[in-house]
Amino acid sequence: MKFTIVTPSFGQLKYLRLNAASIADQREPGIEVEHIVQDGGSKDGTREWLLTQPNIKGIAEADQGMYDAINRGILKGTGDVFSWLNCDEQYLPGTLAAVAAFFEEHPEADMVAGDTVVVDAKNEYGCHRKAVVPTKGILRLGRTPVQSSSLFFRAKLVTGPDAVLFDPQWKAMGDWAWLKTLNDRGARMLRIPRFLSTFVDDGGNLGMSPQAVKETRSVYGALSPWHRATEHLVRGADYARKFMDGYYRQEPFDYAVYDADPATGVSAQRRLHNVAKPTWHWKNRSH
């Protein structure tokens, strides 16, 4: 199975090196990886570094923001399965092999979402988020119950005459709008019960920015009176579903990621972290 991984890039070389290392070691028999880095004009040495990476397709061209960059990368991709991995995210060991096996076992799945480890800038554990297959009601409220770093989708969703790409008018909630459109069209998502990636929460993430708050309020403001009146029922059903699915339970676990090395920018191998007391609670975020 061939994977196309798109990484939108702008001035994050220190993270991009680690991102690329976590993708490069996914290559194994039966797994082909096409890593496309769509850079929007970095001035931190990213372009020069990309020239030294023969296993990465580095493209430097102006874009209209992250979602436009992802679109540009997708349009250059040739994989069977696509995903995007932002610079400050890493895949965990064996992620692509696990996703490939899951897609092969579940031909009915158009998308696969896995669980995510949330870390700080030093890759230390903060919390974790388990993926939840979104319902129409939750999406209508502007909620996105999956992390994009642990989301994979078949090529048919983003290629061909019926392709659904990202709307670059959204600057922070483009993934929500994209998922809602696909959900409305009947695309089927399944959850793979496995940690697939890490996401860095360093306080500067787009999903927690004032722009994200503005767009979320815009979506909520457009709800009909009926949907506002029934919001508590939708949320209550979602919490109940999470509880039944084991969202709030997690045994101790390990995860392994690449750290920055002062000399090379990336360590030679992954560092193992043990999580003795897992928590789903993400500080400064809602459930």
Inter-residue contact 3 to 81 (CB < 8 Å): yes
Give me the CATH code for the 2-275 domain, please. Answer: 3.90.550.10
User: Domain coordinates of the chain in residue numbers?
Assistant: 2-275
pLDDT value, residue 220: 84
Yes or no: say if 122 and 52 are a contact pair by the CB < 8 Å rule: no
CA distances from 71 to 48, 188, 200 (A): 23, 21, 23
Cα–Cα distance measured from residue 168 to residue 263, given in angstroms and rounded to the nearest whole number: 37
Decide if 192 contacts 90 (C-beta within 8 A). Answer: no
* Residue segments in the chain with a per-residue pLDDT below the cut of 50: 287
The answer to whether the beta carbons of residues 8 and 66 sit under 8 Å apart is: yes
CA–CA dist 267, 120 (Å, integer): 17
Q: Which helix (H) or strand (E) holds 221?
A: helix 210-221
- For residue 277, the number of C-alpha atoms closer than 13 Å in the C-beta half-sphere is 1
Q: What is the pLDDT of residues 241-255, one digit of tens each?
A: 999 999 999 999 999
Report how far residue 270's alpha carbon sits from residue 64's, in angstroms, rounded to the nearest whole number.
Answer: 34
**Residue 1: how many other CB atoms lie within 10 Å:** 16
Cβ distance 86 to 189 under 8 Å?
no
Tens digits of per-residue pLDDT, 45-102? 999 999 999 999 999 999 999 999 999 999 999 999 999 999 999 999 999 999 999 9
